[in-house]
Structure 1
Amino acid sequence: MVDMAEIETLCKEKTTLEAADIERVKEVSQSMQMMADLSRAHIFIDCLLADEKHAIVVAEASPSTARPIYQNKVVGNTAYGTFEPAVLYCLRSGKTLASNRAITQERKKVEQSVVPVWNGEKVVGVMIMEKDISDQLEKKERIETLSKTTESLSGLLLSHSDRQPLVPELMEEALFFVGHEGELMYSNPAAINLLDELIGGTCEYGENLLEYLPILTKVVEQKDELLVTEMEAFDKSFKIKKIRLPINDKYNGMFIILRDLTDLREKEKELIIKSVAIKEIHHRVKNNLQTVASLLRLQMRRGIPEESKIHFTESLNRILSIASVYEVILSNSSIDEVDIFELTERIGDMLVYNGFSNMKITVDYTGDRLNIESDRAVSIALIINELIQNCVNHAFEGRQRGHIDVIFEQRTDMMDVIVRDDGIGYKKKKSSSLGLEIVRRMVEHDLSGVFQIEGMKKGTEAKLTFPREGRV
């Protein structure tokens, strides 16, 4: 709402207007909001300052029906003659200025109309209507630029000079320039070769290209200025682009660009078939590993010497850890990479919840995720299996409960995997166990990394560090 008290204060303090003049300004301002909403424009009233060199904004109304031009309040601001010549001209001459272009102090382009506010024979102020035309001008500039570009390109293509056009001649895509009915006006060498390959002949300039390539009929008939589509014809796959020139351009017509995608689509089909085949192989490997695991379980149920049970259990877990790699591969969209965070969760949960231990062991997984190649994932699966299984078997002797943390930390080009328990602690022996020897060898030879294990005040920490990217 327009603030009448503010109008009166500004006029008394900043201008030489008399009381009757101020009342006239206030009277006119009462309809400003309605005018702003109807015109979808910003409305102001400016009055001449006492020095008569500049003006001051005494009232404003922002439209509720359009995006506002000004983000900040304008009332009370000075309208300097240098920046607002139309306002000062209208205040001094009493003449109306319509559709005058201006730039606001917030750097927006506006269309400005200025009309005098009269009190009898005296101009007591001006009413200004401003509409934001920045988008319109940008659109006009884009259209003009496009028109100039298409005219230049058309001139390049359709030039009949002795010097042959350079760009079209070098294009690998087939390029046709046709009229609105399909009459051929230009074709580059790739287009001539394509026609010869498809129909065993040529289309002369002036002939209707659609009679030779009917697949282009719908493309030509559509009114879109820009069209991109794919089509199957002549036992081939094509990507087709159409660029229609403005109707009133120097060269009326359209560019049609054909790109042969047949080889690309065939390779895509081959990759899909290969991907399906690889997935089937992964599926069979996983099933075979699970079959071996089932045979081991069956043997364990039928009875084995107690001293052999731990060795059967360790072998079983190793087999199931490798099978977990293929389960993760089959559950993901990529057949080449494995999320080692997800893989470790599967292996850890399998080891602590599969019933081989009577203890209550919990595992937490934290840190960064990383996808690695499937062949390195097999090595990491076995390493993680050995480390967690080592915790389950040895870290919590004489206890009913235990906790394991598995932490992943990424650096610029390296990855750390830490397995930490709160057990009895690691005691270094003269000769390392088979499990730790497997871990050390796989970290060094398969991952090109480093393995460390040491006891802490409470528990043990094992850490493997390896490059994020595999060896080339």
Structure 2
Amino acid sequence: MSVLTDLLGETDLSTHEVRHIRHLLAEWQIVADLSFADLLLFVPAKEGQDAGYRCIGQMRPYTAQTIYVDDLVGDFFLRHQRPMVGRGFAEGRVIRDADPDWSTGVPVREEAIPVGYGNRIIAVISREANVATARSPSQLELTYLQAASQLAVMMAAGTFPYAVGDRPEDSDASPRVGDGIIRINAGGTVTYASPNAISAYRRLGHVDAVHGQNIADIDPRPGDAHAALDGNIAVMEEIEHDGSVVLRRFMPLLEGDQLTGALVLVRDITERRRHQKALRVKDATIREIHHRVKNNLQTVASLLRLQGRRMASDEGREALAESVRRISSIALVHEILSREARQEAMFSEIATRIVDMLREGLVSPDTPVEFTVTGDPGELPAEVATPLALVLTELVQNSVEHAFVEFDFSARRGAVDIAFDRHSSTLSIIVSDNGRGLPEGVTLESLSNLGLQIVRTLVGSELGGTLHSLEPEQGTAVEIVIPLQVSG
């Protein structure tokens, strides 16, 4: 459970109000950037507003240096420590008349922005800016601050974040203030365009001046702007022109129910889309390679099965059958990797498929053996999953073939258990059975059949792990521990 979920669970907010708060926290980066200020979101503590407030959200601006190095989310403040927040709750309006506060060592001007929903104030945002860095603002900065003021009024009225419309799902791709911004009035005329926004529209083919033009005349798809202005909803779409891709987000600015204009956030995502396309091509190529390897392995397995049917020797047929199972276990890994866009596979699925394959090939009414798989090995890279699949096949096959020779199935049912235990840097696999166990004086290390030789080689050389036998109360058990690469 997330920290935010825990904090919201300690409030008296309704389900709809919690949803509004979550939408606000997903959208308020733009307010911090336009304001050149830190934002702190407060709700009344569980014991009531008179006692104090809990900080449940914090946002630092990309456009200015933050005031707070530490994270205040989760901190509790008494009412006298945050008087502006109390005024925001009491007056239900944006409050900007406080003197700068020097308690942090720099002059900080605090403003209170109530967060309205329905007919009540459900939270208050403290907007805090370092006024020591104040200077004569440029036209860009004035546009930012004016837009921030309008969004603050909309938050108090409950119209921002937008109830309907497109929301940024990919925070890395969604346009930000610094990517490019255009301000238009209620009629759609451009009153300001940042240099980045102008450059983005030039990549879309508009080479004339932008200021004073109607957005419908410069945007290749004016219907997006009309939908935002006419419906008072946020609209985010991308346009491709001559190899260039630009993402635009139209954000109406409201005063009550009256449209006063809109912000257009613009981001050139050409290189991002090219990179994504290249990755898709690479992933498709890798999946195709895995698919072909899987098909080739299955073809080899089919040929070995045909050869086995033509052999007169039982020993030869069994040797070929073992080879088919080994090849099939490797083919399983490539089959799963051929479906993924990554070079990792959920090994639990591979283990289950291996057990199903061995159950079908080795279990009969004369040898009723049950299999269980416990624990979650998680995702493993192909270079680990492939040898480990073969190791698992050998160990389980070895248990079924040798543990239940001269076994009294009428007394108890045979069982083979596979247990995974994944830690931060290692993966442990224990394969155990309830069979007759090893003969007296014989250890697993002293056995030299082909299957165990394959297991020792793969565990030591390919996986860099260790293999040792355990001493269960009945049957045999072996544990493999392999290191996992820890991402830094």
Contact 2:375-2:419 at 8 Å conserved across structures: yes
Residue 287 (structure 1) shift: 1.7
CA distance in structure 2 between the partners assigned to 1:326 and 1:159 by the alignment: 56
One-letter identity of the residue aligned with 1:458: Q
One-letter identity of the residue aligned with 1:409: D
Query: In the TM superposition, what whole-angstrom CA distance separates every residue of 1:138-177 from its partner, at most 9, and x where no partner exists?
Result: 17967x98xxxxxx9xx8646689xxxxxxxx96523211
CA distance in structure 1 between the partners assigned to 2:297 and 2:141 by the alignment: 70
| SS class of match (1:466) | strand
What is the match of residue 441 of structure 1? 457
CA distance in structure 1 between the partners assigned to 2:273 and 2:323 by the alignment: 46
Residue 271 of structure 1 pairs with residue 279 of structure 2: yes
Aligned with 2:322 (options 314, 321, 329): 314
Q: How does 1:326-341 map to 2 (within 5 A)?
A: 326-330=334-338, 333-341=340-348
Query: Identity of aligned pairs, percent?
Result: 30
Q: How does 1:212-291 map to 2 (within 5 A)?
A: 212-216=218-222, 218-220=224-226, 222-223=228-229, 224-225=231-232, 227-235=234-242, 236-247=244-255, 252-291=260-299
CA distance in structure 1 between the partners assigned to 2:141 and 2:334 by the alignment: 62
What is the match of residue 199 of structure 2? 193
Q: How does 1:46-57 map to 2 (within 5 A)?
A: none
Residue 325 (structure 1) shift: 1.4
Query: In the TM superposition, what whole-angstrom CA distance separates every residue of 1:27-74 from its partner, at most 9, and x where no partner exists?
Result: xxxxxxxxxxxxxxxxxxxxxxxxxxxxxxxxxxxxxxxxxxxx9xxx
What is the match of residue 211 of structure 1? 217
| SS class of match (1:222) | helix
One-letter identity of the residue aligned with 2:374: T
Contact 1:180-1:220 at 8 Å conserved across structures: no
Contact 1:415-1:468 at 8 Å conserved across structures: yes
Contact 2:369-2:415 at 8 Å conserved across structures: yes
Contact 1:325-1:378 at 8 Å conserved across structures: yes
Unpaired stretches in structure 2, ≥5 consecutive residues: 1-45, 47-88, 92-115, 128-133, 144-175
Query: In the TM superposition, what whole-angstrom CA distance separates every residue of 1:329-349 from its partner, at most 9, and x where no partner exists?
Result: 34x555422222221122122
Q: 1:177 to 1:463 in 2, by over 3 A?
A: same
Query: In the TM superposition, what whole-angstrom CA distance separates every residue of 1:351-406 from its partner, at most 9, and x where no partner exists?
Result: 23215875222211122341211221111111001101111222122236432111
CA distance in structure 2 between the partners assigned to 1:388 and 1:242 by the alignment: 60
Q: How does 1:81-96 map to 2 (within 5 A)?
A: none
Residue 295 (structure 1) shift: 1.1
Q: 1:452 to 1:205 in 2, by over 3 A?
A: same
Residue 201 (structure 1) shift: 2.5
RMSD: 3.8
Residue 190 (structure 1) shift: 1.0
Aligned with 1:305 (options 300, 309, 313): 313
CA distance in structure 1 between the partners assigned to 2:290 and 2:315 by the alignment: 34
Aligned with 1:350 (options 354, 357, 380): 357
Contact 2:228-2:251 at 8 Å conserved across structures: no
Residue 408 of structure 1 pairs with residue 420 of structure 2: yes
Normalising to structure 1: TM-score of the pair?
Answer: 0.60
Contact 2:362-2:400 at 8 Å conserved across structures: no
What is the match of residue 452 of structure 1? 468
Q: 1:282 to 1:193 in 2, by over 3 A?
A: same
| SS class of match (2:204) | helix
Normalising to structure 2: TM-score of the pair?
Answer: 0.58
Bigger RCO of structures 1 and 2 (CA < 8 A, at least 6 apart): 2
Residue 422 of structure 1 pairs with residue 434 of structure 2: yes
Q: 1:218 to 1:411 in 2, by over 3 A?
A: closer
Q: 1:384 to 1:255 in 2, by over 3 A?
A: same
CA distance in structure 2 between the partners assigned to 1:470 and 1:309 by the alignment: 43
What is the match of residue 184 of structure 1? 190
Unpaired stretches in structure 1, ≥5 consecutive residues: 1-70, 72-107, 111-132, 146-151, 162-169
Q: 1:442 to 1:232 in 2, by over 3 A?
A: same
Contact 1:451-1:465 at 8 Å conserved across structures: yes
Q: 1:318 to 1:141 in 2, by over 3 A?
A: closer
Contact 1:171-1:190 at 8 Å conserved across structures: no
Paired positions, count: 327
Contact 2:197-2:267 at 8 Å conserved across structures: no
Name the stretch that deviates more: 354-363 or 375-384.
354-363
One-letter identity of the residue aligned with 2:421: E
Contact 2:228-2:252 at 8 Å conserved across structures: no
